């Protein structure tokens, strides 16, 4: 049988700071991540058995079924995954708490008769997952962000840009990704971002300039947030900034 090519939505996860925890704790946090993903899929009314699951050691890749709309990998899946990781962290010790980086992309992939999957979309997915903006977002706050996600420009245009329910443009922060030979625009998502108050980087006054819905503010309607701006996430008090420009990754750093 010859391989076939299909357009699929893809999601990759990586457990930040997994190195140095020891084999027993690594196996535990891997189990927690898979259980959280399975539970989040179930809540999103998606059957985990329909997804190809690829274990990457300190994370995983999910290949969605061809019938799944791309937006199905975003809402309510990402908020539900974040909620489950946060709940685990409330009761976990320092060595088994999780910070999870997530990358989401879509494209035409190759499916071999034996079940192997490959193709250029996986390369882009890996670069997004390893990018500086996503790593910085995951490190926000004293204990890090439970789940920080990054969307490719293509996926953003095909989902957020089409106005799907639950995908407000204000929930995403633009970022420039440069990893090795890969350079592209992408979009960050993190818990609280849909309604997070904005900080005016020019005035530096720290005053809120309106909510994510545009209500409650005064003066001119603020424009879309960029990765240069400080973003404050409601609910967990996290504040972080991602700076535009060339950014490089030390690939021996698994944190």
* pLDDT tens digit sequence for 65-87: 999 998 999 999 999 999 999 99
Contact 70, 105 (CB under 8 A): no
Q: Where are the alpha helices (DSSP H) in 103-177?
A: 120-129, 132-138, 153-158
- Crossing angle between the packed helical segments 77-91 and 23-43, to the nearest 10 degrees: 140
CA 166 → CA 74, 144, 152, 155, 170, distances in Å? Answer: 9, 25, 18, 15, 11
Parallel/antiparallel/unpaired status of strands 59-63 and 4-15: antiparallel
Q: What is the pLDDT of residue 58?
A: 86
Look up residue 254 and give its two tokens.
Answer: 């698994």
Q: What is the pLDDT of residue 155?
A: 95
Banded model confidence at residue 23, pLDDT cuts 50, 70, 90: confident
Query: Among 60, 42, 67, 65, which residue's Cα sits nearest to residue 101?
Result: 60
Q: What is the pLDDT of residue 192?
A: 61
pLDDT of 216 higher than 50: no
d(CA 25, CA 254): 16
Residue 159's contacts (CB-CB under 8 Å, 6 or more residues apart) are: 70, 71, 74, 151, 167
Banded model confidence at residue 52, pLDDT cuts 50, 70, 90: very high
Tokens 């490190």 belong to 139
Banded model confidence at residue 185, pLDDT cuts 50, 70, 90: very high
The stretch 220-225 carries a mean pLDDT of: 36
Identify the structural domains of the chain with CATH numbers, from first to last. 4-241 (3.30.70.1230)
- Residue range 122-178, pLDDT digits in tens: 999 999 999 999 998 888 766 778 999 999 999 999 999 888 777 888 889 999 999
Mean pLDDT (the chain, rounded): 76
Q: What is the pLDDT of residue 95?
A: 87
Contact 76, 43 (CB under 8 A): yes
Q: What is the pLDDT of residue 197?
A: 27
Query: Among 162, 107, 116, which residue's Cα sits nearest to residue 3?
Result: 116
The stretch 4-14 carries a mean pLDDT of: 95
Quote the percentage of the chain above a pLDDT of 70: 74
């Amino acid at each position: 049988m010859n391989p076939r090519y299909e357009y699929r939505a893809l999601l990759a996860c990586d457990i930040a700071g997994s190195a140095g925890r020891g084999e027993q704790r690594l196996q535990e946090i891997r189990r927690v991540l898979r259980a959280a993903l399975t539970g989040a899929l179930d809540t999103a009314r998606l059957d985990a058995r329909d997804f190809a699951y690829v274990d990457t050691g300190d994370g995983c890749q999910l290949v969605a079924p061809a019938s799944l709309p791309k937006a199905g990998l975003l809402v309510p899946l990402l908020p539900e995954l974040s909620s489950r990781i946060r709940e685990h962290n409330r009761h976990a010790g320092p060595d088994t708490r999780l910070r999870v980086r997530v990358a989401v992309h879509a494209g035409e992939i190759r499916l071999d008769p034996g079940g192997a999957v490959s193709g250029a979309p996986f390369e882009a997915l890996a670069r997004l997952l390893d990018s500086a903006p996503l790593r910085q977002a995951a490190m926000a706050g004293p204990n890090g962000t439970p789940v920080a996600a990054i969307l490719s420009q293509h996926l953003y245009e095909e989902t957020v840009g089409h106005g799907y329910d639950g995908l407000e443009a204000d929930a995403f922060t633009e970022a420039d990704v440069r990893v090795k030979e890969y350079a592209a625009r992408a979009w960050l998502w993190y818990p609280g971002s849909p309604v997070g108050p904005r900080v005016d980087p020019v005035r530096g006054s720290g005053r809120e300039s309106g909510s994510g819905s545009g209500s409650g503010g005064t003066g001119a309607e603020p424009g879309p947030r960029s990765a240069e701006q400080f973003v404050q996430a409601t609910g967990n008090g996290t504040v972080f900034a991602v700076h535009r420009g060339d950014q490089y990754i030390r690939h021996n750093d698994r944190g």
